[in-house]
Amino acid sequence: MIADIVVIGGGPAGLSAAAAAAAHGARVTLLDEQTVPGGQLSKQIHKFFGSREHLAGTRGFAIGRRLLEDALAAGVDVRLGFAVYAVHPDTGDGFEVAAYGGKAIRLRGRRLIVATGASENPLAFPGWTLPGVMGAGAVQTLVNLHRVRPGRRALMVGSGNVGLIVTYQLLQAGVDVAALVEAMPRIGGYLVHAGKVKRAGVPILLRHTVIEASGNRRVERAVIGRLDEQGRVVPGSEQELEVDTICLAVGLSPLLELLLILGARTAYIPALGGHVPLHDLDQQTSIPGLYVAGDVAGVEEASVAMEEGRLAGLAAAGSLGLGDPAALAEAKREILARLEGLRAGPFGAARREAKVQQVGRPLDLASPPAAAAAPATSDPPMAPAAPATSVVAAPAVAEAGPAAGIPLRRRPLAVIECPQEIPCNPCETACPRGAITIGSPITNLPRVDPAACTGCGLCLTACPGQAIFLIDRSGETAKVTFPYEYLPPPEIGRTVTAVDAEGRPVCEAVITAARLTGKADRTWAVTLAVAHEYAGVVRGMLRRGR
């Protein structure tokens, strides 16, 4: 039997593609080599960025589950545990796919959607082959899927979102993180992710790298050092860290093998992870009937992967004469508009420009293809992250912000310390009073209307960046409320050490409230009573036992 569409890969892109195509009547078979569906989502335990359409504010593994349910409900034949090892071109009776999962199977599909994702880049240094040096994804798999701690004390290499998020997840699992080193002079990922690990006291060392790992047949220590402007280790800057795990988070590369077998044309575009397949606005490659979506089409993020998947699924179904053409065209316009939003702002802009180069035309339907792509640059622009000092400056932002303006307010006020234009709006959607505005594009910075804010705190636990705090200056002591996701749970009445945005101790403080609502999905809202002078500074507390 021949399927209408075969999808390879059951992550956010593949599941979204399969569900979208099946919803328009396509008979779809999806294969994934892992037995756990959702791709990387199955290991993601943090709340996701994006908007409602991307299930933002929901934890990654729950998004993966939802996407799988949607695909199954749409009638997709999902086959887990099957690794595709060969694909054959369409010579008239569809693409042939060979897979193995305890038994060998062969499938045919009139259209083929490849959503194989990306793999982690390694980093070679003396000692890097020692047991205990692992990919950040490996660590995440162990901790969140298999529930096993990789060692007791880790060094993280790389400050992109993966490095920052996995550092936070190591801490949540009870593994200490000695430091996070980043060779670049700035943090690569979102500063709100960096804020979580800084508040937990993990030093983020910029212009630092790992020089060596050593130990008796396993990692027992790491040597790190500072880099000069030319990227050379500054003599005398070396320090030894006692760690048993070194975690590499130095980027991802698209998993292109199946596309290369079929002869799809590729281009080298560093901003998208290296070699990527060329594709059009339908996500179709240079091979007719062969589509790509998600990280294999260029390393971006899960919300982009979902949208690209839908795009590919709709286009593949439409090309088979399925679905209503007008409805498909309208859906495509909407998806392209949302993708524009996700690629706005300082982080998205470089990827957007790279995407124009990859697609070879403007990324909307209105502009004619003849308007042509931006010229390929040999030096693609880096995401101009805010200066590293902006997190340090966060308390000052709070002082200068609305909180400082209305000291006589009788209620707490939401203070948002979200310094970068990232594609995310759960705070806006969470507020029942409409007191928070982001609007369009989704990368706009949130604005709080102090007159409308009741201090209810729904935004505080909804914010995936944990960048919203409640500050109440009405009483004799000020009260600062912050999100908290560690064990043991906070206890009302306990005296703790309050810390600032950098994780530096500020003062002793008593927990006066600790709320955990169902809606908050395991994020506590912890309130500390502090002297008024510290209200703009205190942003968290030391974990017990620290």
Partner 1 sequence: MTERSADHPATRSTAPGRITDHPILGPVPERRRVVFYHDGRPVEAFEGEPIAAALEAIGVRVLRTTARRGEPRGLFCAIGRCTDCVMTVDGVPNVRTCVTPVREGMRVETQRGLGEWHPGGWPR
C-alpha span between 368 and 385 (Å, rounded)? 32
- Paired residues of 30 in beta bridges: 7, 78
Closer residue to partner 1, CB minimum distance, 135 or 412: 135
The reply to whether 250 sits near partner 1 by the rule CB under 8 A is: no
Contact predicate 423/442, CB 8 Å: yes
Closer to partner 1 by CB, 323 or 490: give it: 490
Task: Give the range of 24-32, 103-111, 124-132, 389-397 binding partner 1 by CB under 8 A.
Answer: 124-132
For the CB of residue 34, give the shortest distance to partner 1 in the complex, in Å.
7
Looking at beta carbons only, is 426 or 441 nearer to partner 1?
A: 426
* Phi, psi of 109, deg, nearest 5: -140, 135
Closer residue to partner 1, CB minimum distance, 140 or 319: 140
The one among 131, 325, 381, 384 contacting partner 1 by CB under 8 A: 131
Q: Contact with partner 1 (CB under 8 A): which of 57, 132, 274, 402?
A: 132
Cβ atoms of residues 181 and 203 within 8 Å: no
Is residue 150 within the footprint of partner 1 (CB under 8 A)? yes
* Tokens of residue 456, six digits: 């209810």
> Does 522 engage in binding with partner 1 (CB under 8 A)?
yes
Q: How far is CA 424 from CA 190, 239, 421, 457, in A?
A: 11, 38, 9, 18
Helix axes 161-172, 191-199, angle to 10 degrees: 30
Q: What DSSP string describes 396-454?
A: HHHHHSHHHH-TT-SS-EEEE---S--SB-HHHHH-TT--EE--SSTTSPPEE-TTT--
| Those residues with Cβ within 8 angstroms of residue 361's Cβ, 6 or more apart along the chain or in another chain | 280, 281, 367, 369, 371, 372, 373
Q: Does 103 bind partner 1 (CB under 8 A)?
A: no
Q: Which stretch binds partner 1 (CB under 8 A): 12-20, 48-56, 133-141, 363-371?
A: 133-141
The correct pick among 1, 93, 102, 147 for binding partner 1 (CB under 8 A) is: 147
Is 542 one of the binding residues for partner 1 (CB under 8 A)?
A: no
For residues 78 and 10, is the Cβ–Cβ distance under 8 A?
yes
Residues of this chain, 13-42, that bind partner 1 according to CB under 8 A: 33-34
Among 138, 349, 376, 456, binds partner 1 (CB under 8 A): 138
What tokens appear for 7 in the block? 């999808």
Looking only at residues 192 through 231 of this chain, which bind partner 1 when binding is defined by CB under 8 A?
217-218
Q: Least distance in Å: CB of 151 to partner 1? A: 8
129 touches partner 1 by CB under 8 A: yes
Of the pair 34, 357, the CB lying nearest partner 1 is at 34
| 1 or 148: CB nearest partner 1 | 148
Residue 180 Cβ vs partner 1, minimum distance, rounded to whole Å: 20
- Residues 374-379: contacts with CB under 8 Å, at least 24 apart: 377/353
Q: What type of residue sits at position 143? A: V
259 binds partner 1 (CB under 8 A): no
Binding residue count for partner 1, defined by CB under 8 A: 36
Q: Which residues pair with 29 in a beta bridge?
A: 6, 77
Figure out which of the listed residues 487, 493, 518, 545 binds partner 1, where binding follows CB under 8 A.
487
Residue 109 burial class via C-beta count within 10 angstroms: exposed 0-12, middle 13-18, buried 19 and up: buried
Q: Which of 66, 119, 376, 497 binds partner 1 (CB under 8 A)?
A: 119
- Would you say 33 or 53 has its CB closer to partner 1? 33
Q: Residues 101, 486, 512, 542: which binds partner 1 (CB under 8 A)?
A: 486
Q: Which of 93, 102, 124, 148 binds partner 1 (CB under 8 A)?
A: 148
**Please, what is the minimum distance in Å from the beta carbon of residue 379 to partner 1?**
31
Site for partner 1 in 59-98 (CB under 8 A): 59, 83
Single out the segment in contact with partner 1 by CB under 8 A; choices: 145-153, 197-205, 342-350, 400-408.
Answer: 145-153
Q: Does residue number 173 form part of the binding site for partner 1 (CB under 8 A)?
A: yes
d(CA 422, CA 114): 28
Tell me which stretch binds partner 1 (CB under 8 A): 167-175, 183-191, 321-329, 431-439. 167-175
Among residues 65 and 218, whose Cβ is nearest to partner 1? 218
Which residue, chain included where needed, has tokens 């290499």? 157
Q: List the one residue out of 196, 204, 201 whose CA is nearest residue 394.
A: 196
Specify the stretch interacting with partner 1 by CB under 8 A; choose among 170-178, 268-276, 284-292, 531-539.
170-178
**Gap between the Cα atoms of 501 and 492, Å rounded:** 22
Could you give the CA distance from residue 428 to residue 296 in angstroms, rounded to a whole number?
32
- Work out whether 149 is an interface residue with partner 1 (CB under 8 A): yes
Q: Is 126 among the residues that bind partner 1 (CB under 8 A)? A: no
Contact by Cβ (8 Å): 343, 271 = no
Residue 387, helix vs strand vs coil:
coil
CA–CA–CA angle 140, 420, 358 (5° rounding) = 75
- List the one residue out of 200, 233, 20 whose CA is nearest residue 126: 233
Q: Is residue 106 at the binding interface for partner 1, with CB under 8 A as the rule?
A: no
Q: For binding to partner 1 (CB under 8 A), which residues are involved?
A: 33-34, 45, 59, 83, 119-120, 129-135, 137-139, 141-144, 146-150, 172-174, 217-218, 485-487, 489, 522
